[in-house]
Amino acid sequence: MRAVHKIKSNSTTRFIFFIALGIVLFLLSNRVDELRVYQGAEIAVYVIAISSLILLTGYSGQISLGHGALVAIGGYAAAVANINFHVPIWLTFFIAVLVSALFGALLGAAAARLSGPYLAGATLALAVGLPSIANQFTVLGGEQGLTFDAGMPPASLGEDFTVYKWNFWIAALATLAILWLLQNILRSRYGRTWRAIRSNDVAAELSGIAIGRSKVLAFALSAGIAGLAGACLAMLVGTVSPSAFPISLSFSLLTGAVLAGVTTLGGVMIGAVVLVAIPEIADAVANRFGGSESVTSNLPGLLVSALLILTVLLVPNGPVEQMRTIRSRKGVASHH
């Protein structure tokens, strides 16, 4: 009974924390300029996308190098639902989640027989081939893509409440909801099952765990969350096209996940902030040294690649997990 009470208490504490964090974010959005509000919305989108990758790779042990394709599927699903079926904006986000989750379940069923580099290669092939697939269907808008407009904020919020703030509120609310949901799922029996499979799938199967079904569930849930990130990203950029979801997006998400620490959600904000900051850093460096336009456009990708390599070499578990390890070692040393 005491353990059950403690679990409920922790869940309530987390819920109150997310509510308080949401209030702080909303208050901050009224005190910063439009650029920072837009960047805040970008960070929220990256947090959702990176969280989905951490769930898939860090907890269920399935490696994805093409997660940007699942993000794109969510963006396209939201845009098609809004344009062709005139679905209300708030409902397009649910459709993005459902369509992406269904696609993820199908991909997961096929990928359940793959592991390691074979699964990574299959997801990478999907990300590479997605632009060509999108160009084959007129309903997806071809190379020009589709427009996606979340609409104007409610008049009750006042004339000073801009579209940028409205998009930030939507993205931030989606982020808080997803993080709260993931925190609870990963602490449930599903999370324990995925960690058991990641640690030793043979032992997990011998203990009675249906490995294939568990992997498909993880893939579907991860894809659904990635789809939500795609819908939010489409809302920010106002369009859904192959150029909006390049192959570099998949590698950026992977870098963000490694920076966050693939096996923990604790550092997901670090990965997201770094990814949003990289273009500004690249632009500042290029301007400082008088770089050409090609240097300016290619430097962000170079920085992402270098950061991924350095993180894997220096802090492979992510800075948050590294700090936890250091603190635990100090705790053990102090006891001795």
3-state SS assignment for residue 146:
strand
- For 76-103, what is the mean pLDDT? 95
pTM: 0.90
The residues pairing with 239 across neighbouring beta strands, listed in sequence order, are 147
Per residue in 269-317, pLDDT (tens digit) is 889 999 999 988 888 887 777 666 766 777 888 888 888 888 878 777 7
Report the pLDDT averaged over residues 166-178. Answer: 93
Parse the chain into domains and list their residue ranges.
2-245, 246-336
For residue 240, give the 3-state DSSP assignment.
strand
The stretch 112-122 carries a mean pLDDT of 76
C-alpha span between 126 and 36 (Å, rounded): 33
Name beta bridge partners: 147. Answer: 239
> Which residues contact residue 52 at a Cβ distance below 8 angstroms, ignoring those fewer than 6 apart?
67, 70, 222, 223, 224, 225, 226, 229
Of 30-39, 73-82, 146-155, 317-326, the range with the highest mean pLDDT is 73-82
* Mean pLDDT value of segment 215-226: 95
